[in-house]
Amino acid sequence: MSGAGESIFWLPAATAQGRGVDVLFLALLALSGIIFLVVLVLLVTFATRYRHGSNAPRGELPSLARREFEIGWTAATFFLFVFLFWWAGSSELAGYSPPQEAMEIHVTAKQWMFKTQHPSGPREIDALHVPVDTPVRLVMTSEDVIHSFWVPAFRLKRDIIPGRLTQIWFQADRTGSFHLFCAELCGTDHSEMTGTVTVMSQGDYAEWIRAQPQGDDLGEEGRKLFVSLGCAGCHAGSAAVKAPGLDGIWGREVPLANGSRVMVDERYVRDSILQPRREVAAGFEPIMPSFAGVVSEDELTRLVSYIRLAGTSNDIGGTASQ
Ligand code: HEC
Ligand SMILES: [Cu+2]
């Protein structure tokens, strides 16, 4: 909300990605400006030179290689546009591939607030605290309608869609607080759906996290749900029902009954819980009930975290007996 070089015309970018967007924007502006000027000058020149009654020559056009001229400018424009497409496309695509080590924050949007949760548990409403110079991956979903997560200073905007997980990532390189807006008209109080992203030094962030009320982390909350919703009754090693063990499946490819293979990630686990018939694991009966309408988005996030972490903590089999 404050920073060096700020003016009413220009909000300085607080991420490297953001500065890349700025360069692209300025380049497009300059290019359009140049083309506008060239067209304007030619228009005025010709309109004056060939105005009614002027004695400018009006005979045959000079035979100066007209075909080459046409081919030349058409090709030049074509390659210019291909280059612009590549430039904008690659900068946009970079926003889809977060670095492996990125810190993961869960965002759940609803009318009319953003709820965020840190990997170690702390939650915030309409606020997000993150450390500077650290890649942060946002895994987002909505409890009701489409919202959009927009931080102008990061040049970052992505829709948050009910029933789906969307991701973006950023790495802030300046500390400070920055506006967060919902950028998708989502109902009466859409304009009030705002918040603040606070970028802190690494030390301040560690201290901030320590000062938060200590709840369970996402994985632990997920473990409790896994037991209370009855998942463990089928999926635990000791269960009488024949269901696949979920321990360590995260990030692996599993075979499906239809012969294809699928990567176990957020999308797959989510769909397995909500639409178990869609992708049935090979060698198992499709007896898992759908939990659509039973588990909330928040609960899904926790279950997914639990299954992901179970690969490292190795405790899915043990939970049923507890
Ligand atoms: C009635 C027993 C039963 C219950 C209850 C149950 N599941 Fe399942 N689950 C299965 C069976 C059987 C399969 C394998 C067939 C299939 O993919 O539908 C499966 C598949 C899965 C898969 C895909 C695993 C793979 O290897 O492809 C996931 C993830 C999963 N369940 C998670 C859960 C979660 C989370 C819950 C609780 C919210 C749950 N299940 C509740 C029986 C159950
Ligand atoms: Cu909204």
Q: For residue 293, what are the domain limits?
A: 218-319
Ligand 1 centroid to residue 159 C-alpha, Å: 29
pTM, rounded to two decimals: 0.67
Looking at the structure, tell me whether residues 33 and 138 fall in a common domain: yes
* 273 has pLDDT over 50: yes
**Amino acid letter at 271?**
D
Q: Residue 157 carries which DSSP code?
A: E
Token pair belonging to 42 = 């030619």
Looking at the structure, tell me whether residues 170 and 309 fall in a common domain: no
Ligand nearest to the CA of 294: 1
3-state SS, residue 19:
helix
Number of domains in the chain: 2
* 61 has pLDDT over 90: no
Q: What is the pLDDT of residues 91-118, one digit of tens each?
A: 888 888 888 888 889 899 989 899 998 8
Residue 1 in any domain: the answer is: no
Q: Which of 123, 117, 124, 171 is nearest to 140 (CA)?
A: 117
**CATH of residue 267:** 1.10.760.10
Q: Which of 229, 231, 285, 301 to mutate to test the pocket of ligand 1 (most atoms within 8 A of CB)?
A: 231
Strand duo 127-131 + 136-142: pairing: unpaired
DSSP codes of every residue in 176-234? EEEEEEE-S--STTGGG-EEEEEEE-HHHHHHHHHHS-----HHHHHHHHHHHTTHHHH
d(CA 108, CA 112): 11
Q: What is the pLDDT of residues 149-173, one digit of tens each?
A: 999 999 989 999 987 888 899 999 9
Atom of ligand 1 nearest to the CA of 281: 17
The domain boundary, picked from 182, 215, 248, lies at 215
- Amino acid 41: pLDDT: 97
Looking at the structure, tell me whether residues 243 and 315 fall in a common domain: yes
3-state SS, residue 272:
helix
d(CA 237, CA 246): 9
Q: What is the pLDDT of residues 118-133, one digit of tens each?
A: 877 788 899 999 999 9
Angle between helices 297-313 and 266-274 in degrees, nearest 10: 120
Atom of ligand 1 nearest to the CA of 256: 27
Nearest protein Cα to ligand 1, atom 22: 272
| Contact residues for 209 (Cβ-Cβ < 8 A; gap 6+) | 118, 120, 122
d(CA 203, CA 208): 9
Residue 86 in any domain: the answer is: no
Atom of ligand 1 nearest to the CA of 264: 27
Q: What is the share, in percent, of the chain residues with pLDDT greater than 90?
A: 33
d(CA 66, CA 310): 70
d(CA 47, CA 228): 80
Looking at the structure, tell me whether residues 194 and 281 fall in a common domain: no
Nearest protein Cα to ligand 1, atom 39: 231
Q: What is the pLDDT of residues 8-57, one digit of tens each?
A: 788 888 888 889 899 999 999 999 999 999 999 999 999 999 998 888 88
Token pair belonging to 242 = 């024949």
Residue 78 in any domain: the answer is: no
* 246 has pLDDT over 50: yes
Q: What is the pLDDT of residues 206-239, one digit of tens each?
A: 888 888 776 667 778 888 888 888 888 888 877 7
Looking at the structure, tell me whether residues 208 and 180 fall in a common domain: yes
Ligand nearest to the CA of 186: 2
Nearest protein Cα to ligand 1, atom 36: 231
Q: Residue 7 carries which DSSP code?
A: -
113 - beta bridge partners? 110
Pocket flag, ligand 1, residue 229 (CB < 6 Å): yes
Pocket flag, ligand 1, residue 102 (CB < 6 Å): no
Ligand nearest to the CA of 290: 1
Strand duo 113-117 + 123-125: pairing: antiparallel
